[in-house]
Each structure stands twice: as structure tokens, then as C-alpha cells.
Amino acid sequence: MSDLPRYEYVKLADAIAADIASGKLPQGAALPGERAMTELHGVSIGTVRRAIVELRRRELVATLPAKGTYVIGAPEAAASEPNEDETA
């Protein structure tokens, strides 16, 4: 199954998640607007919208109507912190 191609929106969501994990997009940071992201990543607006939905599903971002989309979490930090506390 790993040989299957990934959808463009998943690639974009993974790229943004990597920026969040690395700290390039810290908690509270606003993502660029949809139109800006289409130009920045060279994808359609539909791809950007699906990627944002995927990031919301992963609980990495939240969208505030008429305000924008903001980082609310980190992919690895949320999963690894409780395990470290339990072993300490």
C-alpha cells in the first residue's frame, strides 16, 4: 500500500504539519490565506481547502470565520509528552 500515490491535498497537509512540528509555524501563528497558499504551493484552491480540512481533522489548526486559520497544536508534541510524563 505504500506504493500508492498520495493526493496533493495530503502532501500539502503533510508539508504544513512538518512546518508546525519544526516550529516554523508555532502555536498561534496564522496560516497564509487560501489564495496566497495557492500561489505559494502551486496548487488549486480546492487542494488548499481540502488540506486545511485535513489539518483540522488532525487537530493541528483551527479556522475562525472571517479571521483565518491558526495553529493550535503540534503533531509530535501532543503524542509524545504524556508518554514521557508517565515514565518519569
Under 8 Å between Cβ of 21 and 76:
yes
Can you tell me the mean pLDDT for 64-75?
91
pLDDT for 2: 63
Set of cell numbers at residue 34 = 487560501
pLDDT tens track for 25-53 = 999 999 999 999 999 999 999 999 999 99
Coil, helix or strand for 2? coil
Task: Read off the DSSP letter of residue 31.
Answer: P
pLDDT for 76: 62
- Rounded percentage of the chain residues whose pLDDT exceeds 70: 81
